[in-house]
Structure 1
Amino acid sequence: MPQPRPPDPLVLAEVLAEIHRLRARLPQLTGALAASVDGLVLADDAPGVETEGVAALTAAALGVSLRLTDATGQGGFRELLVRGDGGYVATYAAGTSAVLTLLAEDRINVGRLHLEARRAGARIGTLVDGTNATTTT
């Protein structure tokens, strides 16, 4: 089975541009990152955040989420929302090989967060999966 390799630098630049557009549409975001499902940071805009650690934690949470949705018959992973005292951490599927993780202030409109993040995740997934589909070892 071919092993996926990191996307082309031009694809990563497009992923970063999508993250920047998302942050412009949602000013209450304090950080955003796209990562592979195994925890490799693909692109980020998260000042003051150790994104490699967040990507690794996201991969771990994704593993638990996949097991939970499977065990309960809810289908494949789509998103995960965690609310803390200071705000939200939200992770969205971005195609089959990536995820989009967002950090948001507590005052964000969660419905708008979901709407914008689902769209951005779909665009990022198309970019990343398109690269992996054409990659062979």
Structure 2
Amino acid sequence: MTVTEFQDARSGFDTPLPRRHPGARLESGGDEAVPEELLDQPVPVAGGGGRHRPGQSAVHAELGVLRDRVPGVRGTVLAGIDGRLLGHDLTAGPEPLDLAALAATTFGLGRQCGLTLQQGPLRELTVHSHQGYFTVYGVSDEVLLAVLGDDRLNVSWLHLEAGPVAERLADLLHVGGTT
């Protein structure tokens, strides 16, 4: 197979998957994994380290920390392991609902790799594409932090900053950290 034939063969994979409409519910129809009142907690005066804007919740402030501290971060998504969108800090780009679903899928694949290879629980998984990065971290056994980055992203720097953010999110959501 020539390179041209390979590029033509993969062209079917260049189109995105069908998208859910904003606000669409999953078939399970259950409640959100994180209660809404936790997402709306006021920002504490001290601690955290995120952008503190009037009326912004502490969780949403933490989601903005990585964009503020790590060059190349385009935004963050907080998702349940079932793919539900719990919160986001995206201003443009992919639909947050799609990223939440991708985070859950990525987590599931990474978790299965860890189990199969007998290397323990998943800590993080990074997908490096031609024009950027998508990294998923476990905040708890039920909540994920996904980070979307462009091609300038320093992944090592992201990993250093994301650990403390995930810990603070776990505390704010009262869900306990990952092992």
State the 4+ residue runs in structure 1 displaced beyond 6 angstroms: none
Whether 1:126 and 2:171 are equivalent positions in the alignment is yes
Q: What is the distance in 1 between the residues matched to 2:108 and 2:33? A: 20
Aligned residues with identical type, % of pairs: 34
Query: 1:22, CA displacement in angstroms?
Result: 2.1
Contact kept in structure 1, 2:78 and 2:85, CA below 8 Å: yes
Q: What is the distance in 1 between the residues matched to 2:171 and 2:125? A: 20
Tell me, what secondary structure is at the counterpart of 1:54? helix
Whether 1:24 and 2:68 are equivalent positions in the alignment is yes
Aligned counterpart in structure 1 of residue 109 of structure 2, from 34, 45, 64: 64
Greater Rg over alpha carbons, structure = 2
Whether 1:38 and 2:82 are equivalent positions in the alignment is yes
The 1:5/1:95 distance shift into structure 2, 3 A limit, reads closer
Unaligned runs of 5+ in 2: 1-30, 41-56
Task: Tell which deviates more after alignment, 108-117 or 19-28.
Answer: 19-28
More relative contact order in 1 or in 2 (CA 8 Å, sep 6+)? 1
Contact kept in structure 1, 2:106 and 2:136, CA below 8 Å: no
Tell me, what secondary structure is at the counterpart of 2:68? helix
Q: What is the distance in 2 between the residues matched to 1:25 and 1:38? A: 29
Give 1:39-118 correspondences, 5 Å limit.
Answer: 39-46=83-90, 47-118=92-163
Between Structure 1 and Structure 2, how many residues are aligned? 129
Tell me, what secondary structure is at the counterpart of 2:161? helix
Query: 1:57, CA displacement in angstroms?
Result: 1.7
TM-score (norm 1): 0.84
Query: Higher strand proportion, which one?
Result: 1
Task: Tell which deviates more after alignment, 75-84 or 43-52.
Answer: 43-52
Query: 1:73, CA displacement in angstroms?
Result: 0.6
TM-score (norm 2): 0.65
Query: 1:10, CA displacement in angstroms?
Result: 4.0
Query: Higher helix proportion, which one?
Result: 1
